Structure 1
Amino acid sequence: MWLRVLGSAAGGGSPQWNCGCPVCAAIRSGAGVVRTQSSVAVSADRRRWYLINASPDVRTQIEAFPELHPRTGRTSPLEAVLLTDAELDHTLGLLLLREARALRLYATPAVHKTLCDGTGVLRTLERYCPVEWTAVLPGTDVPLGDGLSCRAFDVPTTKQARFGPGADHGRVVGYRLTDERSGANLVYLPGVQALMPELRAQLEGCECLLIDGTCWSDDELVRLGLAGKTSREMGHQPIGGADGTLAQLPSLNARRVIFVHLNNTNPVLLDDSPERRVVAQTGAEVAVDGLEVEV
């Protein structure tokens, strides 16, 4: 099984267009690489690919990855899109895929309802192309094709829903993907507020864990004067700190750990930052656009 990181940054990308924070300024000066918004593609055979989340940068991301280019006419190796939530940063790219003859979509009922009745993204998309929705139920294995299967798991969050009342079950999920032929598996979890015991059980022992790395510290945006909420209040457990993700990784027993969904303020985006060195010393990695993983 292969995974390609199409976009490694959180919403807004890095640098963010309207941000002059120290990290964005440093990226613009060449202290780190530019990153597009969070999305990955997964394949069992490198011929047919499944997109997890469709960011507003999806067209640029597809063009940067030749294996997603059409081979003849108006065909595409892109088989379907899986969604972890209904956030605009993860779903606006669906509208850019409207030229498809039909679009296969895997999402929980809660996410599907928000996209239909809340943001209206699916209602708009359906005016351009048929959308074939497969309901994803957390805890249930779903065959995708070519021996590849996925199992969504619920990611509890107290983050207030922007559209509608929200749902307790299935509003945010992660995915565990398995190559049924080899048994290889990986977990994609770009948003997690807290690694509670029931969630840790879904991650334990995976061969590759791509996990939320939005902020380094919980008060990162508050301290910079850029937001009034902490990282956790926005639905993201910070990387650093005594109870941050990095401190909890050894107990998860994942063979490879890669931080994704990196906010533009996060100092790990800078190649020579102390925070980046701390991550490297633990053996974990910081994702960049174009990173490829084979499991």
Structure 2
Amino acid sequence: MRVVLLGTAAAGGFPRWNCACVRCDAARDGKLPVRGPECAAVTGNSRDWWLLNAPPDIRAQLTAASALWPGPRHTPVRGVLLTDAETDHVAGLAVLGAAAGLKTYAAPPVLAALAPARAGLDRHAPWEWADSLTEGGFVLAGGLVVTAHPVPGKAPAYVPGRPSDRRWVTVYRIEDLATGRVLVYAPRVGAWSSLLDDLVATADCVVLDGTHFAAEEPGAAGRHLPVSGPAGSLAALARHPRARRIYTHLADSNPLLDPASAARAQVSETGAEVLPDGTEFAL
């Protein structure tokens, strides 16, 4: 299994266009790496690639990843696995709309929220839309078997009434049938749970929500599990040293964006990683 981290920042990317904080200014000055909104691509055979989320600048991310460049009459991208319906994860579907025959997996409430967009995309280039929570999981072209697992989360702000449903956010477990290697992709996690413990225990690599380093950061409360602290994800991941542990979806308030920070040193000491956009690795 090959994995490419196409983007590793939270919504808006890094630096954010309307932010002049110390870290965003450092990124504009070239002192910190620029990052696009969180997205990854995965393949089991190096021919059929699947996107994990579709951020607004997916075109630039695909252009920067030579493994996903198209041939004369085709694209290696076969479809998208959506973890939720947040704008920074679905807006890129419009960019992909020129390609007919793509298949998109998402949980039922996400598919429902996207109904107007789906209708427009299908009129332009017919796609296939599938329930990611189908019993028993599903098999992707390229020899990958996937199961989706709901985790606590809320409907996006643009959804009328924001209906309650425990399936708004999902974590993906992706297994390579040829090697048995397992990737757990969890870029949006509000709280650690026994489910996550069980999933990570079976994984060779976990790509996890690293939006906020500390619970005190703006926007952290209730939406994203912080990295640090006794109830943070870093402490939970320490129970699973066998798995490779990578943080993604980093907000501009997060000191992990700075390789020279004490926060980055703390994470690195545990064996967890913060990697730049464009990083490719194999499992």
Which bracket does the TM-score occupy, shorter chain normalised?
Answer: over 0.9
TM-score, length of structure 1 as denominator length: 0.91
The aligned residue for residue 249 of structure 2 is: 261
SS where residue 55 of structure 2 aligns? coil
SS where residue 6 of structure 2 aligns? strand
Q: Could you tell me which amino acid in structure 1 is paired with residue 259 of structure 2? A: D
Structure 1: which 5+ residue stretches go unaligned?
Answer: 222-229
Distance 1:138 1:244 in 2: 31
The aligned residue for residue 195 of structure 2 is: 198
Once the two structures are TM-superposed, the CA of residue 276 in structure 1 deviates from its matched residue by: 0.8
SS where residue 133 of structure 1 aligns? strand
Structure 2: which 5+ residue stretches go unaligned?
Answer: none
Distance 1:254 1:10 in 2: 27
SS where residue 114 of structure 2 aligns? helix
Once the two structures are TM-superposed, the CA of residue 211 in structure 1 deviates from its matched residue by: 0.2
Structure 2 counterparts to residues 2-13 of structure 1, below 5 A: 2-13=2-13
TM-score, length of structure 2 as denominator length: 0.95
Once the two structures are TM-superposed, the CA of residue 168 in structure 1 deviates from its matched residue by: 2.2
Distance 2:261 2:255 in 1: 6
The aligned residue for residue 131 of structure 1 is: 127
Q: Determine if contact 2:86/2:156 at 8 Å carries over to the other structure.
A: no
Once the two structures are TM-superposed, the CA of residue 67 in structure 1 deviates from its matched residue by: 1.6
1:232 to 211, 221, 230: 221
Once the two structures are TM-superposed, the CA of residue 135 in structure 1 deviates from its matched residue by: 1.2
TM-align CA RMSD? 1.5
The aligned residue for residue 31 of structure 1 is: 31
Once the two structures are TM-superposed, the CA of residue 127 in structure 1 deviates from its matched residue by: 2.9
Once the two structures are TM-superposed, the CA of residue 146 in structure 1 deviates from its matched residue by: 2.5
The aligned residue for residue 78 of structure 2 is: 79
- 1:272 equivalenced with 2:260 (yes/no): yes
Distance 1:2 1:70 in 2: 17
Deviations 1:224-244 (A, max 9, x none): xxxxxx4133x1001112211
Deviations 1:9-65 (A, max 9, x none): 110000000011122122223331000011000001111100110111100011101
How many residues align? The count is: 281
Structure 2 counterparts to residues 1-295 of structure 1, below 5 A: 1-73=1-73, 75-116=74-115, 120-137=116-133, 140-157=136-153, 159=154, 161-162=156-157, 163-164=159-160, 165-221=162-218, 230-233=219-222, 235-295=223-283
Once the two structures are TM-superposed, the CA of residue 160 in structure 1 deviates from its matched residue by: 5.4
Could you tell which deviates more after superposition, 35-44 or 195-204? 195-204
Distance 1:206 1:139 in 2: 20
Q: Determine if contact 1:138/1:154 at 8 Å carries over to the other structure.
A: no
The aligned residue for residue 224 of structure 1 is: none
Q: Could you tell me which amino acid in structure 2 is paired with residue 147 of structure 1? A: G
Question: After the TM superposition, which parts of structure 1 deviate over 4 Å for at least 4 consecutive aligned residues?
Answer: none
